[in-house]
Structure 1
Amino acid sequence: MFNTLSQQQIDKVFGIIKKATTEKRPERQLTKYEKILENFSKWLLTHQLIGFSVAIILAGLSYFLHDIPLANTAFATITLSQILGIALAVVVIALSIPFFYRLFKTPFSQFFHLVESSVTFNLQYVEQLATCEAAAIRYVLTYYEGERIAFEKRCSILVGSIEKIGFFPALAGLGTLSISLTKLPAMQSWANALIFLILAFYILSTAAFAMTQRQDRVISLLKYCLESSK
């Protein structure tokens, strides 16, 4: 016998998993040292972007107005922006020191942190899904999982399976292909466009991998709720 489902029951489940998919887990609490570096890096990035934008505007005005002092100001501004960029890189390196320290001292700390944060974060959705009909959860899960598989296949059609190849090996192969194609004068004109297009697809695939991780987490959540309702 099939259970009769209403649109209201389906919408209730879908609303819960939509929040579970889009909302981010709370980030790990930073130490005092990390908070200082984090705030300083944001300050550097903000001022670097402002300086770069101002330099571009001044350079454009100096070009159209033929103003040499304005061009010198633009050059000084872009130089200052680059100095801020170097300082930002140093801060990022310093900010990564605690991560590598924890990685070597307690290799499983990051793993258990992710597990614990997922368990704590998903508990609210378990409580909400407990009030839903099991048939509605199963119905939404069927189509959610189907769209998840279709999404992965669409990404694989464009750039292949990046998670099996690896991002850096893919970049190495892309660089080898670029060098090989640029040696042929007849292909050099379209080879550059092709290389940048493939690189763009690699970046999109990397972003899609983070999306599929969230989708897999929600699928596991729905399956757990179904098993618990039996």
Structure 2
Amino acid sequence: MTTEADQATDAAATAPRRSGWCVVLALCAGAWLVHNGFQPVTPPMPSAAEAFAAGPGHYTEAAADPLPAAAPVAVRIPGIEVDAPVLGLGLARDGSLDVPPAGNGNVVSWYKDGAAPGAKGTAILAGHVDNARGPAVFYALGTLKKGGRVEVVRSDGRTAVFTVDAVEVYENTDFPDDKVYGAADRAELRVITCGGGFSAKTGYQGNVVAYAHLIGARNT
């Protein structure tokens, strides 16, 4: 008989490791090729005002009851003009999150072995910040604000609506695995891309993470 403790242990064992996937992503994208004259165009980073430490912002919204599990098919983030299809992916051989093909900058990956967006738990969405052609789907993730909306269209014909609680940036050497990937008693969402410093030799040195929770759902 499988207990809740067993399930939690299994989930922890299959959770993504610290996001070394950003280094892989950057190298697969053909390195840093977006330039403005001779100066690199670096992705915007979140301000300290969008971090948890700055407080909840001007308002907070109550969490909605979790939905039954259903796979995501698209994600929309109006505040940063994202409207992209979602591809279900697992883990790479090194235990890091797998990522969408580098050649398609407008696609998002969902960690399919974790929670579905809108269902109870912590759902993970990840996408490129850039590729060899220029800025990609989550290039502007660092400009997302508390209270912003993330809408996930699901295969059951419903759209799960999330509100952003915080947006933070972490260096790879200080990535808070439990905080980002840990279990949740409500329906939560993490939206992740590369960020932090950049090295031409090793790629991005960190991640931008947007934290959000479910506030409602509507028919698509």
TM range (shorter): under 0.3
More strand by share: 2
More helix by share: 1
TM-score, normalised with respect to structure 1: 0.19
Bigger-Rg structure (1/2): 1
TM-score, normalised with respect to structure 2: 0.20
